[in-house]
Amino acid sequence: MTPARAHSTRAMGWPGDQSAGRAGDPMVEPVALRHDAAMDAAVLRDRGRQAFGRGAWADAFRDLTAADAASPLAAADLERLSTAAQLLGHDTASADARTRAHSRYLEQGDPVGAARSAFFLAFAFFERPTHRAQAGGWLARARRLLDECGRDCPERGLVLSAAGFEAATSGRVPDALAAFREAEAVGQRFQDADLDLILAGAFRDKCPRSDNKRREGNES
């Protein structure tokens, strides 16, 4: 063994003989495997984030799922995984990832993040007629979290949009329109394009048609 090799092994606390560092060494292999697994998870996670950013949903779902299996994802990455899964039609995987994100945000003491996850769970369940009770439960949880923290944030507009959607699908058009108008006001206040254009605007478009049909029926 060279002096440099002997020094490096002693510095790491290993015996300075030729057996140190060999494959199969019980002192070395678990550490190396853990290090490789952590690096693999980080590479997969970063690839998944990049794929998500460019809208490559299948790649994002594959890489983030693999990264999560290697090392549990953080809340924001679980949200990305959930969104990719939902866009690919993997409803169960999407709900599982979003539920975990909700729990992770609560563990971190982030009620706004938890409320956002609860909103998207409610929104997903509203699309399934047999899951309306679950949707209502998640929406109520999101509203409670925001009320308790007292913070003015775009997530309040998300909750209002979900409430408007719930009202619209139940035939309560005036209530739906009122909720969507409030949601738009929140979006404008925070300059939140997703909330203002995608959520509030898209759902509101359903209501005037229903309202017009109702008025036409009353006039006939």
Residue 193: DSSP 8-state: H
Residue 58 belongs to a domain: no
pLDDT band at 42 (very low <50, low <70, confident <90, very high): very high
Contact 161, 197 (CB under 8 A): no
Residue 80 belongs to a domain: no
Residue 54 belongs to a domain: no
User: Tens of pLDDT along 133-182?
Assistant: 888 899 999 999 999 998 889 999 888 888 888 888 788 888 988 888 88
Contact 86, 94 (CB under 8 A): yes
Residue 62 belongs to a domain: no
Residue 179 belongs to a domain: yes
Residue 41 belongs to a domain: no
**Which residue's entry shows tokens 């003015």?**
152
How many Cβ atoms sit within 10 Å of the Cβ of residue 6? Answer: 14
User: Tens of pLDDT along 81-102?
Assistant: 999 999 999 999 999 999 999 9
- Determine the average pLDDT of the residues in 49-75: 96
- Determine the average pLDDT of the residues in 54-83: 96
- So what's the pLDDT on residue 15? 34
- So what's the pLDDT on residue 56? 97
- So what's the pLDDT on residue 67? 96
**Which residue's entry shows tokens 């036409």?**
216
Q: What sections of the chain are H helices per DSSP? A: 3-11, 29-53, 57-70, 75-87, 91-107, 111-126, 132-149, 154-169, 173-190, 193, 202-204, 206-219
Residue 65 belongs to a domain: no
Residue 91 belongs to a domain: no
Higher pLDDT, 11 or 47: 47
User: Tens of pLDDT along 97-120?
Assistant: 999 999 999 999 999 999 999 998
Domains held by the chain: number: 1
Domain, as residue range, for 194: 110-206
Indicate the pTM of the whole model. 0.71
